[in-house]
């Protein structure tokens, strides 16, 4: 015998107990072979829509379902209940894809462009979750798509035209299982380029800044450019390291990001082309235990203008991410990398999720997602972490 699916929709002002009443009514139908097959609910400003599906192969009429509902205290006080027979198969085949989009404020026109793109690829949106309203506006869409690659490409084009930051990921527990989050330091976790701050004290800031910009744009080999910049610091007293460390500023949202990751059991880490003597004390203060960075050579309390050991460059950052993943005990698919410069590209490509943070177009092309807002904790939304969870971590 073929199966019949009934969709029961409860709508009206939200009130205590309405869910209990609905499921008690649906449970009473189990004696007639009706099994609960799906549930969905949305509440906006105390307006409730609660849906329950029951499926049965036995002969149950719509009227019998309505009678079961009428025996509960469901209707009244503005609450309405409807019952309809629905098809048991989805019109759209394919897997589910998560589309996370954010901006300082998401407009109806921006959502129109996104949903028009979803329709253009033959996809449908099954669920919308409003992850955050401040300091950015963020929505997460669960989209069923028969052509996920087409959806990804079109969403990338639409996001640029609409002024949205968008991340496209396969839905599943793996998204919340990304246990290792590796961040670049300069211009990502930190607002500043540390080498530039050192150069200001040494009086060679213009020369160093010019080399830095060319390196971050991918025009120079990073290792060579770093040696050239560090050489300009020769003869400085090592006390300058403490002076510069006091000037370094965390990016807005950086401390919130790390605190929330630690609260939820993630492992934050930093891989930087900067300097361990500056970074290690700063990271210790916020609870980051994993760090790989360059080490300035100091002899008799004076900087020699040399870097000790192997330089942490573009391939070195990717190696560090792999090493951290092995040490933490997670596969690369469960890692996240966040960076802004050309020397972050390999790291972003290797990670399960690579996020370009206020990065140049060259870097964005190699990332899975891009953020253009100035708040580093917006990374959390691409992991499906809501603003409420972030606030809870703050209290904890």
Distance of alpha carbon 394 from alpha carbon 387, whole angstroms: 11
β-sheet bridge partners, residue 269: 182, 290
β-sheet bridge partners, residue 186: 190
Task: Estimate to the nearest angstrom the gap between the alpha carbon of 382 and the chain centroid.
Answer: 2
Distance of alpha carbon 48 from alpha carbon 44, whole angstroms: 7
- Per the structure block, which two tokens stand in for 25? 């009514």
HSE, CB side, 13 Å, CA atoms: give it for residue 99: 29
- Per the structure block, which two tokens stand in for 247? 């000037």
C-alpha dihedral (72, 73, 76, 78), degrees to nearest 10: -90
Q: At what angle do helices 276-286 and 254-263 cross, to 10 degrees?
A: 60
The conformational region for residue 187 under phi > 0 = left, psi -120 to 50 = alpha, else beta, is: left
DSSP string, 314-373: HHHHHHHHHHHHHHHT--GGGEEEEE-SGGGHHHHHHSSEEEEES--HHHHTTSSEEE-S
By residue count, the chain amounts to 396
Q: Which residues contact 314 (CB under 8 A, 6 or more apart)?
A: 222, 342, 343, 344, 345, 346, 347
Q: Which residues contact 362 (CB under 8 A, 6 or more apart)?
A: 217, 218, 342, 345
Q: Which residues are catalytic?
A: 184, 186
Cis peptide before 159 (omega within 30 of 0): no
């Amino acid at each position: 015998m073929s199966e019949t699916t009934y969709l029961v929709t409860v709508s009206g002002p939200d009130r205590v107990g309405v869910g209990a009443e609905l499921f008690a009514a649906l449970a009473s139908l189990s004696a007639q072979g009706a099994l609960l097959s799906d549930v969905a609910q949305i509440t906006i400003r105390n307006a409730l829509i609660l849906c329950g599906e029951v499926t049965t192969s036995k002969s149950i009429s719509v009227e019998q379902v309505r009678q079961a509902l009428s025996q509960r205290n469901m209707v009244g006080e503005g609450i309405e209940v409807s019952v309809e027979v629905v098809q048991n198969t989805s019109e759209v085949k394919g897997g589910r894809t998560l589309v996370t989009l954010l901006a300082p404020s998401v407009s109806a026109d921006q959502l129109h462009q996104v949903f028009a793109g979803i329709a253009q690829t033959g996809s449908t949106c099954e669920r919308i979750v409003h992850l955050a309203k401040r300091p950015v506006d963020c929505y997460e869409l669960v989209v069923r798509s028969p052509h996920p690659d087409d959806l990804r490409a079109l969403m990338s084009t639409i996001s640029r035209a609409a002024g949205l930051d968008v991340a496209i990921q396969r839905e599943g527990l793996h998204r919340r299982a990304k246990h290792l989050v590796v961040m670049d330091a300069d211009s990502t976790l930190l607002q500043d380029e540390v080498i530039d701050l050192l150069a200001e004290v040494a009086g060679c800031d213009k020369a160093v800044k010019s080399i830095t910009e060319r390196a971050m744009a991918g025009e120079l080999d990073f290792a060579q450019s770093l040696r050239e910049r560090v050489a300009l610091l020769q003869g400085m007293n090592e006390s300058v390291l403490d002076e510069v460390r006091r000037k370094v500023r965390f990016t807005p949202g950086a401390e919130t990001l790390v605190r929330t990751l630690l609260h939820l059991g993630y492992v934050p880490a930093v891989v930087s082309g900067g300097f361990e003597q500056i970074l290690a004390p700063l990271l210790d203060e916020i609870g980051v235990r994993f760090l790989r960075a360059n080490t300035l050579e100091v002899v008799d309390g004076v900087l020699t203008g040399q870097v000790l050991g192997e330089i942490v460059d573009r391939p070195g950052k990717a190696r560090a991410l792999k090493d951290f993943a092995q040490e933490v005990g997670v596969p690369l698919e469960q890692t996240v990398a966040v960076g802004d410069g050309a020397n972050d590209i390999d790291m972003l490509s290797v990670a399960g999720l690579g996020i370009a943070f206020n990065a140049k177009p060259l870097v964005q092309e190699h990332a899975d997602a891009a953020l253009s807002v100035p708040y580093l904790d917006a990374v959390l939304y691409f992991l499906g972490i809501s603003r409420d969870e972030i606030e809870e971590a703050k209290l904890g």
